[in-house]
Structure 1
Amino acid sequence: MKNYDAIIIGAGQAGMPLAKKISSKGQTVALIERRAIGGTCINDGCSPTKTMGSSAKVAHMVSRAGDFGVNISGYTIDQQKIKARKNEIIELFRGGAEKSLEKQDEIDILLGEASFVDNHHIDVAFPDESTQRIYGKRIFINSGTSPRVPEIKGLKESPFLTSTSIMELNETPEHLIIMGGGYIGLEFAQMFRRFGSKVTIIDRGDRLVKQEDEDVSEEVSKIFQEDGIDLWSDSEVSEVSYKDGYTLKIKTSKGDKSIKGSHLLVAVGRTPNIPKGIENTKITLSKSGHIETDDYLRTGEKKVYALGDVAGSPPFTHIAYHDAHLVFQTLYQEKPVSKQDRLVPYCMFIDPQLARIGLNEQEAKKKQIKYKSAKFLMEHSGRALETDQTRGFFKVLVDPKSKTILGATILSMDGGEIMAVLQMAMLGGITYDTIASMPIAHPTLAESLNNLMMQLE
């Protein structure tokens, strides 16, 4: 049996950087991965979906070429080439990740499935059916999540798609039905609409992006309707049948209905990947099935930590990556950092992008925090007008006394980039009146921040 200073279960966006950081201290690491190096982000999450989304954006701009005075007689979608381009990006990113790990002499990569024997011993089952028991002074769990499949009559007997399998299609769906109006559902809805599919979203909520303010939700819905996407809100699928296509029975706020389509994407959330043998430890799970941790990501076992999605951290790659930083600082640099002390940015890669940092109005009201708000429409932005991408708006909340920024929602072209600017302003304590009067290069999208902040004066 081989002993390690650290065992890391899962080579995702927390596991990989943590392994390298620990090995840089001269400590030995066993990095266990049952599927593919890089985790969800590289293999079937961020990288491949944004690559395919870029193809969809090109298709959209080509369809609008006449608006810019560029006359194109016609174009076609090559779904197989889009898939091939996506696979090239996966191989490029995964290959880079594998090479960076292989350079570290202190890291052993074990491609197999981990099972807890106790809080220090792990059994690794390899594809050839052999097993190996290893010991770790500390264990870190970064096993991620998988698409959730709800208990719906007839669903499991049908060849439904998940966020992984939909990217393997060689044909463009004639009519794609999407169960779920969350991040995954919305990104794929707009993507395949631009590829030429008819798209229908069926969502249980009464409005899209319910975590955002109502005006943001209304604008997103308006954009999707303009794009020709059908939205069924307050609706729930009760039965699925498949025979040369799908028939779904749906319960809606206006009575029972049915819908037919060629393909079905199930995008109703994700389920934590809990390692086998967890019952052999003092690790506990939350009601949602995630591994419970304290503010420093420690589980019920003193020497076992959980990071990223499996630990219930906000389900974003950058937060999993940040979890690795927090754990490393706490354990190896003696600089304890709580997960409660961070600002959590996120961006939904619909078009225009929807990004947020800090509070929005509904959260500020719930917490009884006083604020002033302002909104700047993209239809008044010079850069947006020049590029003819005028949908959406900037929205900001500020503290009336200190004039510091409490939060911002950016629904615009390159919204994530603008959000990051405001994130840095929040961390630096820069006041809104400073941003209102600072010279920002013209003509850029960022200069609309001047206009946004001026409205607060």
Structure 2
Amino acid sequence: MIGSEGAVEDADLLVIGGGKAGKTLAMDTARAGRRVVMVERGMIGGTCVNVACIPTKALVTSARLARRAAAARSLGLNLDKPEVDPRLLRSHKEGVVSEMVDLNHRQFLDSGMDLVLGEARFVAERTVEIRLNDGGRRVVRGADVVINTGTVPYLPPVPGLAEAGVLNSETIQRLDRLPERLVVIGGGYVGLEFAHMFAAFGSHVTVIDHSPALLPQEDPDVTEVLAECLRQDGVEMVGGVTVKEVAREEDGIRLLLGDGRSLIADDVLAATGRSPVTAELGLDAAGVRTDERGFIRVDDRLATDAPHTWAVGDVAGSPQFTHVSLDDYRVVKENIAGGTRSTSRRLVPWNLFTDPELARVGLTEKQARATGRNIRVARLPVKAIPRARTLRDTRGVWKAVVDRDTEEILGVALLGPESSEVLTVVQTAMWAGMPYTALRDGLIAHPTMAEGLNALFASWTD
């Protein structure tokens, strides 16, 4: 029952923020007949559905089609030069998002949860005051509370950057035109995906990153191939420099770099990470503590410093992937019920949806060598895989690292077409503790990209 103004309502579960972990837990708990209140500021379905994974991958699909259409003659087709219409792009993206938002909303209501649209702020342990979007307020106390407020794009404190009206990973999706010159600040996976995407749409794209090497946490023999693919597709890479100042001028946005050079752009995308949504939550009143960056402090059970109060997803400092948030839901669901499920030793995959895409799981060669293990390294050019030749998409390289003594697969990096799908095959083998020989000798359908695993695990470089 909804309490009167000022009265405290009790719930079995109070979820603040409707991201992947929070919304899944809320629906499950409500379907089990428990009283659940989920507070959401207004982004039904969470960041992934509205402004991150789903809309960006919808646009990646368009970019890949544009690139394929431009190369249609190699596939025996005579097509006119593809014309990219930014209004149609936006309509396509918004259509995909709208369908998923509607689906999430129906699922929320059908589950029996109490979906509350508004801003929540803690006023005591496990208790929030909610300013409702349509006016009024409610005060709700949960037997258990789960915080799932996520993150927002981070804007670095570069002089003039904010005043120049630069874009972030959310606002760039609302453009109704294609910039002739786009500068991307940040060479992480978000920046690279947008850079490659807009290059396919016809923009001249420059990526600026403070690191001299692309994706420095990865093995250079893989990232050098990726960098060459980006250059071939018209993405200019400027590494080892910082942006010192930004100013909007008559002919565009000017960026002054740390090495003295300057660039001029029609639009600038700041892809420099994300900040946690915690500042306005009143966490002190709840007894919840944060780290120096504002992320909620949790243990490996995702419990905060306050009793019966949990944090999940990006705001808890978990790796910023929706599939990790979904696993956070599994962890918290079990632990609320008295279990001991942990986030430690998770085997976390990630995919960079450039074209070709980079799929990674486990240890890099550098990381594996740092453990002191006796390792072997396998390397296979994608052009050696028959399916890649039928696709006329032979750029890339696959790499695997195994323990020489135990034959255990320690990690792979797959740069090539459909790599994100093939990655799950390797990850499953790693979960099962299978030796690399199972993939080397396994009977895999021909011609598929996964078939390349037979050859990869027979292609040792040492």
Q: 1:310 is matched with which residue: 315, 320, 323?
A: 315
**Which segment is superposed worse, 302-311 or 128-137?**
128-137
Query: Is residue 96 of structure 1 aligned with residue 103 of structure 2?
Result: yes
Task: Name the aligned partner's letter for residue 389 of structure 1.
Answer: D
2:3 corresponds to: none
* Aligned 1:138-157 pairs, distance under 5 A: 138-157=144-163
Q: What is the percentage of aligned positions where both structures have the same residue?
A: 35
Q: 1:119 touches 1:303 (CA, 8 Å); kept in 2?
A: no
Q: Deviations over 1:118-152 (max 9, x none)?
A: 11210111223421111111110010000001111
Specify the code of the residue in structure 1 equivalent to 2:80.
Answer: S
Q: What residue identity is the alignment partner of 1:74? A: K
Letter in 2 for 1:288: R
1:12-33 Cα distance to aligned partner (Å, 9 max, x none): 1111111112223321111010
388-397 or 124-133, which deviates more: 124-133
How big is the shift at 1:72? 2.1
Tell me if the contact between 2:28 and 2:111 (Cα under 8 Å) persists in the aligned partners: no
Would you say 1:356 and 2:352 are equivalent positions? no
- Distance in 2 (alpha carbons) for counterparts of 1:227 and 1:121: 53
> Residues 342-353 of structure 1 correspond to what in structure 2 (within 5 A)?
342-353=346-357
Are residue 180 (structure 1) and residue 191 (structure 2) matched?
Answer: no
1:52 alignment counterpart: 59
Of 192, 205, 210, the match for 1:204: 210
Q: In the alignment, which of 333, 336, 342 is matched to residue 331 of structure 1?
A: 336
1:239 maps to what in 2? 245
**Structure 1 stretch displaced more, 261-270 or 271-280:** 271-280
Q: Does 1:432 align with 2:436?
A: yes
Give runs of aligned pairs for residues 54-453 of structure 1, distance below 5 A: 54-105=61-112, 107-244=113-250, 245-251=252-258, 255-274=259-278, 275-332=280-337, 334-453=338-457
Distance 2:427 2:29 in 1: 29
The amino acid of 2:13's aligned partner reads A
Structure 2 CA distance for aligned equivalents of residues 77 and 43 of structure 1 = 23
Contact 1:77–1:195 (8 Å) recurs in 2: yes
The answer (yes or no) to whether the contact 2:126–2:141 under 8 Å persists in 1 is yes
Q: CA deviation at 1:381?
A: 1.1
One-letter amino acid of the structure 1 residue matched with residue 193 of structure 2: E
**Structure 1 stretch 120-129 or stretch 134-143: which is displaced more?**
120-129
Give the 3-state SS of the residue equivalent to 1:242 in structure 2.
Answer: strand
- Residues in 2 aligned to 1:356 and 1:113: alpha-carbon distance in whole angstroms: 37
Residue 72 of structure 2 aligns to which amino acid in structure 1?
A
- Where 1:14 maps in the other structure, the secondary structure is helix
Cα deviations by residue, 1:7-65 (Å, 9 ceiling, x for unpaired): 10111111111111222332111101003111110000000000011011111011111
SS at the partner of 2:20?
coil
Which whole-Å CA distance do the structure 1 matches of 2:294 and 2:416 have between them? Answer: 35
SS at match of 2:140: strand
CA deviation after TM superposition for structure 1 residue 366, in Å:
2.5
State the Cα distance separating 1:365 from its structure 2 match.
2.2
Cα distance per residue 1:177-231 (max 9 Å; x no partner): 1110111100000000000000001101111111211111211111111111111
Structure 1: gaps of 5 or more residues? none
Distance 2:356 2:50 in 1: 24
Work out the CA distance in 1 between the residues paired with 2:135 and 2:281: 16
Q: Alignment partner of 2:344: what SS?
A: helix
Q: 1 CA distance for matches of 2:369 and 2:269?
A: 36
* Cα distance in structure 1, aligned partners of 2:452 and 2:126: 54
CA distance in 1, matches of 2:355, 2:339: 40
| Higher mean C-alpha displacement, 189-198 vs 359-368 | 359-368
Deviations for 1:371-397, whole angstroms, at most 9, x for unmatched residues? 211011101111111111111111111
Measured in 2, the distance between the counterparts of 1:35 and 1:175 equals 33
Counterpart residue type for residue 205 of structure 2: V
CA distance in 1, matches of 2:131, 2:79: 56
Superposed displacement of residue 284, structure 1: 1.4
State the distance in 2 between where 1:142 and 1:6 align.
13
Equivalent residues of 2:244, 2:255 under 8 A apart: yes
* TM-superposition CA deviations, 1:89-119 (whole Å, max 9, x none): 00101111111110122x1001001101111
Q: Which deviations, in whole Å up to 9, do the C-alpha atoms of 1:414-451 show, x marking residues without a partner?
A: 11111110000011122111221121111111111000
CA positional deviation for 1:73? 3.2
Matched position secondary structure for 2:183:
strand
> Which residue identity does 1:220 align to in structure 2?
L
Structure 2's unaligned 5+ residue stretches are: 1-7
- Aligned-partner Cα distance in 2 for 1:83–1:279: 41
Mapped to 1, the partners of 2:454 and 2:271 lie a distance apart of: 38
State whether residues 124 and 133 of structure 1, in contact with CA within 8 Å, keep that contact through their aligned partners in structure 2.
yes
User: RMSD over aligned Cα, in angstroms?
Assistant: 1.3
Count of residue pairs the alignment pairs up: 452
What TM-score comes out, normalization by structure 1 length? Answer: 0.97
Partner of 2:44: 37
